[in-house]
């Protein structure tokens, strides 16, 4: 990825209001911007967990969901998911579906760095093993979904703040990730939608 990659700044309704360089957008006063989270599953219902690379600006070395990223200006969120799965994990997903169109969060690191994102959540299915990019990912592991949710709720696993907030919302969709209903793309923040 180039160092001049820009993120899309959004208002509270999810309308694009500008862009900012990704390299400078995360600080003590991070503006609300567009992102996404993706949970990759294999045919056995295991979720792919990743540990963020130790040199990442936000939450380095923290265990989290499969893939996160920022749509580029003008790029629909679904296309950003496909692009980042390839870049971060060397994966071509068999399918990608929207499940939580309006998730948003704000989290503060111990050093005061803020993450503030409007962050739709996707489920992807993959039939190949990841080839993680060390620039992005420290390690990967597959884990049965039921075991993952149990270990997080029991305090046995520590995960990123966004993943921690997404988990109960995903669990509310049902115990089996394969039966989660796909959400309507029309419910996405406007800045994340495909142009009509």
| Residues with Cβ within 8 Å of residue 110, at least 6 apart in sequence | none
What's the pLDDT at 196?
Answer: 56
Rounded Cα gap, residues 126 and 113, in angstroms: 33
H-helix or E-strand spanning residue 37:
strand 36-41
Decide if 117 is catalytic: yes
The catalytic residue among 68, 88, 119, 163 is 68
H-helix or E-strand spanning residue 171:
helix 161-171
What's the pLDDT at 104?
Answer: 97
Prediction pTM value: 0.95
Please report, for the chain, how many H helices and E strands are present, in that order.
4, 12
* Per-residue pLDDT tens digits of the chain, which is 196 residues long: 445 789 999 999 999 999 999 888 888 899 999 999 999 999 999 999 999 989 888 888 999 999 999 999 999 999 999 999 999 999 999 999 999 999 999 999 999 999 999 999 999 999 999 999 999 999 999 999 999 999 999 999 999 999 999 999 999 999 999 999 999 999 999 999 977 5
What's the pLDDT at 3?
Answer: 52
What are φ and ψ of residue 20, in 5° steps? Answer: -150, 150
Rounded Cα gap, residues 169 and 164, in angstroms: 10
Decide if 163 is catalytic: no
Determine if residue 95 is left, alpha or beta; phi over 0 gives left, psi from -120 to 50 gives alpha, anything else beta: beta
Residue-range domains of the chain with CATH: 6-176 (3.90.79.10)
* Contact (CB, 8 A) for 157 and 63: yes
* Contact (CB, 8 A) for 21 and 5: yes
What's the pLDDT at 148?
Answer: 98
**Token output for 125:** 């299915």
The catalytic residue among 88, 115, 117, 136 is 117
């Amino acid at each position: 990825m180039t160092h001049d990659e820009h993120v899309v700044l959004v208002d509270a309704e999810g309308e694009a209001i500008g862009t900012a360089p990704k390299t400078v957008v995360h600080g003590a006063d991070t503006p609300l911007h567009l992102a996404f989270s993706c949970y990759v599953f294999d045919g056995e219902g295991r979720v792919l967990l990743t540990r963020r690379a130790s040199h990442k600006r936000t939450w380095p070395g923290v265990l989290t969901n499969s893939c996160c990223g920022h749509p580029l200006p003008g790029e629909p969120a679904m296309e950003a998911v496909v692009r980042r799965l390839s870049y971060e994990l060397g994966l071509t997903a068999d399918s990608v579906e929207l499940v939580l169109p309006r998730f948003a969060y704000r989290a503060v690191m111990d050093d005061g760095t803020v993450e503030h994102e409007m962050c739709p959540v996707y489920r992807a299915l993959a039939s190949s093993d990841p080839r993680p990019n060390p620039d992005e990912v420290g390690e990967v592991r597959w884990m049965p979904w039921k075991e993952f949710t149990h270990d997080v709720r029991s305090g046995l696993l520590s995960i990123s703040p966004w993943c921690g907030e997404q988990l109960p919302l995903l669990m509310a969709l049902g115990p089996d990730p394969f039966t989660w209903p796909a959400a309507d793309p029309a419910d996405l923040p406007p800045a994340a939608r495909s142009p009509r």
